[in-house]
Each structure stands twice: as structure tokens, then as C-alpha cells.
Amino acid sequence: MNTPFLSVRDLRVAFSTEDGVVRAVDGLSFDLAQGSTLGIVGESGSGKSVTSMAILGLHDREHTDVDGEILLDGKDLLTATERELERLRGNTMSMIFQDALASLSPFHTVGRQIGETYRKHTGASRHEARARSVEMLRRVGIPQPDLRVDDYPHQFSGGMRQRAMIAMALVCDPQLLIADEPTTALDVTVQAQIMDLLKDLQQEFGTAIVFITHDLGVIANIADDVLVMYGGRCVERGTRNQVLRTPQHPYTWGLLGSMPSLDGPVDVPLSPIPGLPPSLLNPPSGCRFHPRCAFAEKVHGGLCATDSPPLEINGGGRGTACHLTAEQRRDFFVDYATPQPN
């Protein structure tokens, strides 16, 4: 692996709220190489989006404590000034959001919003920016881009809005793209088109992508590496095949078990993870997953409730944070993954 383009080290993000301190991200580390895709998976409130906001420096600085290190091409973003960050945002690193209708300004034309980013970072004229907007709209597959460039977001369909958002994010050829649930609000066919578009554009520009989602199907489609988050921590990571084929953490088993399988027997019921995501205001002691974990009692000495399992990384960045022994995991996973027809 060449030197990572984005390197996050021991990231900790805490908000002070009226009720206390919320540790939304608690010691997260990962690397991302140029041109590759990291999928971050987790439930709502697992710290996925907070991580992306911290990378862009868009968290509310007054109520948020951010610790650790975020290196973008060797530059620490957490010590960068606001001006330096403004120069990077939209230019070297950019972001696409989940709800394209709410995330695009209703008051400005699509073309103006795309061109605005371009003008800010290249100093292009209004005319050049418009030409660039048309070109970007064409590239993301908007029909008749020279006409649609003057439309407002509410005149676009859902899929077209997300394409326009991608055009806006890529207008300055960024080297890092953070996609926060970009396909969640779209129907499945459009979802597939957007994924294909992102993959094509990534090939063309060599962009590194952080792809945040709760959808393992989407991860299987796009990610090179996968990081599973739970309660603000990484519980498991590895390549796509490692995490999806031979998952090591009971939480990942649970995520996979909650998904219908197309090639398995149809009468196997889904097995959702019982319980609710943990409160980050007052997180469970020890392993944050233990109150919902079916295997916690199998761990000797009730360790799960008292000690937080470290993320053990072995070769190639594969890692799991669980007290179960490797042997136990192998046995339990075989039991867990074997379909039990009813």
C-alpha cells in the first residue's frame, strides 16, 4: 500500500450538550489511499456522519471537542486555520449529502451553485463557470445540460438532483470525496445508476472516496475496504471480502443477518439485532455492544461488561474489537451463518 492520502489517527469527537458530554466518535483510525474507496457502515448515531463533518472541519467549533489527527496528503486538518480549510473544501476535498433537495439551495439555479464552487477555487469568470457547469452536468449524465443548467433544484427529479450534487462536488476535481449516504433517499434503480456514476468518475479522476452508509448491499457494490462502526468506535475492519464473507464481530454478523439474501432459502426469517443503538451520552460500560450481543455470556469472566476490547489489527489492516477468541468466533459464525429453515 502506498502512503495513504487520508489518514485518520485516534479521532475523538465530543459535543457538550445540556445533558452532558456526548462522545460521538471515540478513538477512530483509518487510512485511505488515492483512488480507493473506504466504506463506513453503522447504524444511526454510530458516529459516521460526525466523522465526515470533522474531516471537513464543519463541526460546530464552540460546542465540539475534536482530538487526534486527520492528515490529508500530510497536512493536519485539525490544526489548519479556517482560511486554509476553506481553500481545501470543495477543491481538494468535497462532500455529497443524503438529501439533495434540502442540501441544494432553493434560491439559486443548479448551474450557479456548481459554478460558484468553481469560481471560488479557480477565480474563473462567470462565463467560464457557466460553461464548466454545463460540462459537469453533461458528465454526470443530465440530458440537455445547456438548458437544465438554468433550472432550480426543485425542477429536477430526485436522481437528477443527486447527479447535480455530484457534479457540484467534483467540479474542481477533488482528490477526496466524502459521500454521506448519497443513495439512501433514492429508489433502487436510480441508486444503482448513481453508484455506477461514482465508480466511473472515480476511475476517470482517481478520487479517493469515503462512502458512508448503513446499507451493506451498497458497500458490497462500491467499497474496497470496509470499516464497521458501533457507538462511535470501530468494531471491525478489513477488505470488502474479509468483512462481508468472513466477518469476525458479532455486530457485523447481526448486520448481515438483518439483510435478506437472494441466493439463500426464502423461508429463512431475518434475524434483526435486538435492542436499540447505545446512548452516547451514557454509553454502556466495557464493550459498547455487549447489552445487545448474543455471545457476551460466552466470554470468560464477564469481561464484556467491564473491559472495552481493543481493536486488534493483524496483517493487511484486518481488525476486530471483540473479547471472543478466534476459535470461538469461527465456531459461532458457522452456527450463526448456517440457515435454520423453519
Partner 1 sequence: MFRFLVRRTLGALLILLIISALTFVLFYVAPRDPARAACGKLCTPQTLALVRHNLGISDPLPVQYWHWLVGVFAGRDYTGLGHCPAPCLGYSFTNHEPVLGLITDRFPTTLSLSIGSAVVFVVFGVGTGMIAAVKQGKALDKIASSASLVGSSLQIYIVGVVAMYYLSDEWHLLPRPQDSAGFTQDPSAWFKGLLLPWLVLALIFTANYTRMTRSQLVETLSEDYVRTARAKGLSRRTVFFRFAWRGAMGPIVTILGLDIGYLLGGAIITEETFGLHGIGALSIKAVRDNDLPLLLGVVLTAAAAIVVANIVVDAVYALIDPRIRLA
Contact residues for partner 1 (CB under 8 A)?
56, 58, 82, 86-91, 94-95, 97, 99, 102-107, 116-117, 120-121, 152, 154-155, 165, 168
CB of 18 to partner 1, least distance (A): 11
DSSP annotation of 89 reads B
Based on CB atoms, which residue is closest to partner 1, 148 or 249?
Answer: 148
CB of 109 to partner 1, least distance (A): 8
Based on CB atoms, which residue is closest to partner 1, 167 or 273?
Answer: 167
Based on CB atoms, which residue is closest to partner 1, 205 or 332?
Answer: 205
Based on CB atoms, which residue is closest to partner 1, 29 or 103?
Answer: 103
CB of 105 to partner 1, least distance (A): 4
C-alpha grid cell, residue 319: 481488525
Based on CB atoms, which residue is closest to partner 1, 97 or 230?
Answer: 97
CB of 184 to partner 1, least distance (A): 14
Based on CB atoms, which residue is closest to partner 1, 107 or 263?
Answer: 107
Residues 53-70: b if buried by 16+ CB within 10 A, e if exposed: bbbbbebeeeebebebeb
Q: Per DSSP, what are the bridge partners of residue 98?
A: none
CB of 342 to partner 1, least distance (A): 44
DSSP annotation of 32 reads E
Half-sphere exposure of 170 (CA within 13 A, CB side): 27
CB neighbours of residue 31 within 10 Å = 17
Based on CB atoms, which residue is closest to partner 1, 58 or 276?
Answer: 58
DSSP per-residue letters across 128-196: HHHHHHHHHHHHTT-SSHHHHTTS-GGGS-HHHHHHHHHHHHHTT--SEEEEESTTTTS-HHHHHHHHH
CB of 58 to partner 1, least distance (A): 6
In 3D space, the residue among 204, 198, 153, 203 whose CA is nearest the CA of residue 177 turns out to be 198
Kindly give, in sequence order, each residue whose CB lies less than 8 Å from that of residue 290, ignoring residues fewer than 6 positions away. Answer: 284, 296, 304, 305
CB of 283 to partner 1, least distance (A): 26
CB of 106 to partner 1, least distance (A): 6
Based on CB atoms, which residue is closest to partner 1, 86 or 307?
Answer: 86
SS3 110: helix
Cβ burial, residue 79 (10 Å; 0-12/13-18/19+)? exposed
Q: What are phi and psi of 145, to 5 degrees?
A: -60, -30
